[in-house]
Amino acid sequence: MKLKTIIILSSLFLLSAISLFPQQEFVIRIQEGMPTIPLAIPKFIVHGATADLISSSETLHEVFSADMKYSRVFKPLPKKHYSYIKPIDPGNIRFYDWESISAKLLMVGEISKGEGNTVIFSGKVYDVKSERYIFGKRYTVEQGLLRLAAHRMSNEMMKIYGEPEIFTTKIIYVSNRDGNDEIYMMDYDGHNQTRLTFNKVKDYMPAWATDGRSFAYTSYRFTKASLFIFNPFDGTHIEVQSERTNWASSFSPDGKKLAFSSTIAENNSEIFVCDSNGKKIKRITFNKSVDTAPSWSPTSRQIAFTSDRSGRPHIYIMDAEGSNTRRVSFGGTYHDGPAWSPDGDRLAYVSRVDQIFDIYILNLRTQNISKLTESFARNESPCWSPDGRHLIISSNRSGKIQLYTIDYDGTNVMQLTFQGDNKLPDWSRK
């Protein structure tokens, strides 16, 4: 299957030794250090107000506002605040009005008709107190790509403040909504859910490549768990390993390596590393226990993984070539599925306590552990957003297994999938 590359035409207006010690498990609350920035987003101005343009404006405003709220960097002002001041006039902005309702930044959006079936969307951002123009963007976009245009504008907001661009990232996952476990892709907010594999066999455990153009996954197309790399944009497949059982792949952030679990050398699972193109496979763990679920550190110099070498599954860290292995999870009866945060300071993982599966976060610097989920459900498969402020998990809290995003402090839970069972998500870095 091939996916068309989506392009939005845009022009710029103006751009003014982690020490790891055994720790006792306890629950703390993580507090975010920096306050959010109050942002005014009045209704976008529509030039030539046809029904289609008004609808387009509402979509763009809704998506951009939702992105800003989700960011945890910006704080959109409540809609009721706008009723206290006069409507926005782009040619004569009364900054003292916006300062009176505690806005620090002001986003002025304008919508007009473009050629054919296109809409012209422009946005300008101002610092309210200094009455300074910060930056602006202009997009010419087809009607079907309005959400993408709004996400692109949201990314520009993040870039100006030195934050990762997360709003055009994608999530891949496994779903059986069409009767068979296949790989699907969706936007970070759950929109545009698209099926990517059509193999008529079970496909599992997708893992994005660093460039966001391809992914590795396990498929039973040869009646056994074989590992492939698939580029859905050009339809190319690379077979990495089809002997024995292969799963739980993970690309290194530097884009050079792919780690995965396999039984090709022993009857038990060990961890292997190969080049990102699937070549030069090398075994890096050597013991009689099960080693699985590798997760690279942001520097690509270390790998976290699950092993039962101590008798029960726990989280370990080793150097990228397999040396200097040390255990980092203690207590409990079951720890699995480590996911390394983008800042390198935290590991999210699954822990089972009294037959309940919840997500925990280990701070590798302080050794403190926080419990992320609190529900009588099976919460699994944590994966971080590129900015480290959010995670996506699978949970059966609603009955079926669905995907949810949750902020790193346990707040702002948002369900993304609703059809069939959905599991094993991976969040792209770009």
Say if residue 236 is in the same domain as residue 210. yes
Instruction: Specify the pLDDT at position 33.
Output: 56
Rounded to an integer, what is the distance from CA 117 to the centroid of its chain?
32
Q: What is the per-residue pLDDT for 223?
A: 87
Asked if residue 185 is part of any domain, the answer here is: yes
- Picking from 112, 136, 160, the residue at the C-terminal end of a domain is 160
Is 108 a member of any domain? yes
> Which domain does 214 fall in, by range?
170-427
* Same domain, residue pair 194 and 330: yes
Does residue 245 lie in a domain region? yes
Q: pLDDT value at position 353?
A: 84
| Residues 418, 311 within the same domain | yes
Beta bridge partners of 339: 348
* pTM as predicted: 0.91
Final residue belonging to a domain, choices 111, 139, 160? 160
- Mark whether 206 and 113 lie in a shared domain: no
Residues 113, 249: one domain? no
CATH of the domain at 372: 2.120.10.30
* pLDDT on residue 212: 95
H helix or E strand, kind and range, residue 150:
helix 146-160
Residues 113 and 192 in one domain: no
Note whether residue 202 is domain-resident: yes
Q: How far apart are CA 252 and CA 300, in angstroms?
A: 5
Distance, CA of 109 to CA of 37 (rounded, Å):
18
Does one domain contain both 252 and 364? yes
Contact between 284 and 292 under an 8 Å Cβ cutoff? The reply is no
Percent of all residues in the chain with a pLDDT value above 70, rounded to a whole number = 92
The answer to whether residue 1 is domain-embedded is no
Q: So what's the pLDDT on residue 222?
A: 84
Give the CATH number of the domain where residue 142 resides.
3.40.50.10070
* Overall number of domains in the chain: 2
Put residue 322 in one of left, alpha, beta given phi > 0 → left and psi -120 to 50 → alpha: left
- Please indicate, yes or no, if residue 308 is contained in any of the structural domains: yes
Residue 256 and residue 397 in one domain = yes
Query: Residue 165 falls within a domain, yes or no?
Result: no
Q: What is the pLDDT of residue 371?
A: 94
In this structure, the answer to whether residues 117 and 253 fall within a common structural domain is no
352 and 417 part of one domain: yes
Residue 359 contacts by C-beta under 8 Å, 6 or more apart in sequence?
348, 349, 350, 351, 371, 372, 373, 379, 380, 382, 391, 393, 406
From first to last of the 430 residues of the chain, give the pLDDT tens digit. Answer: 444 333 333 333 322 232 333 333 333 333 455 689 999 999 999 999 899 999 999 999 999 999 999 999 999 999 999 999 999 999 999 999 999 999 999 999 999 999 999 999 999 999 999 999 999 999 999 999 999 999 999 999 999 989 999 999 999 999 999 999 999 999 999 999 999 999 889 999 999 999 999 999 999 988 899 999 999 999 999 999 999 999 999 999 999 999 999 999 988 999 999 999 999 999 999 989 999 999 999 999 999 999 999 999 999 999 999 999 999 998 778 999 999 999 999 999 999 988 889 999 999 999 999 999 988 899 999 999 999 999 999 999 999 999 999 999 999 999 999 999 999 999 999 9
Check residue 425 and give its pLDDT: 98
Q: 15 has which bridge partners?
A: 135
Task: Say yes or no: 247 and 134 in one domain.
Answer: no
Q: In this structure, are 47 and 107 located in the same domain?
A: yes
Domain edge (last residue) among 160, 189, 211: 160
Q: Is 196 exposed, middle or buried (0-12, 13-18, 19+ CB in 10 A)?
A: middle
pLDDT at 376: 85
Give the C-alpha separation, 185 to 233, whole Å.
Answer: 12
Q: Is 288 exposed, middle or buried (0-12, 13-18, 19+ CB in 10 A)?
A: exposed
Do the Cβ atoms of 332 and 351 come closer than 8 Å?
A: yes
Helix (H, G, I), strand (E, B) or coil at 418: coil
Q: What are the backbone angles phi and psi of residue 420, rounded to the nearest 5°?
A: 65, -165
User: Is 406 a member of any domain?
Assistant: yes
Phi, psi of 80 (to 5 degrees): -65, -25
Q: What is the pLDDT of residue 14?
A: 28
pLDDT tens digits, 207-256: 999 999 999 999 998 889 999 999 999 999 999 999 999 999 999 999 99
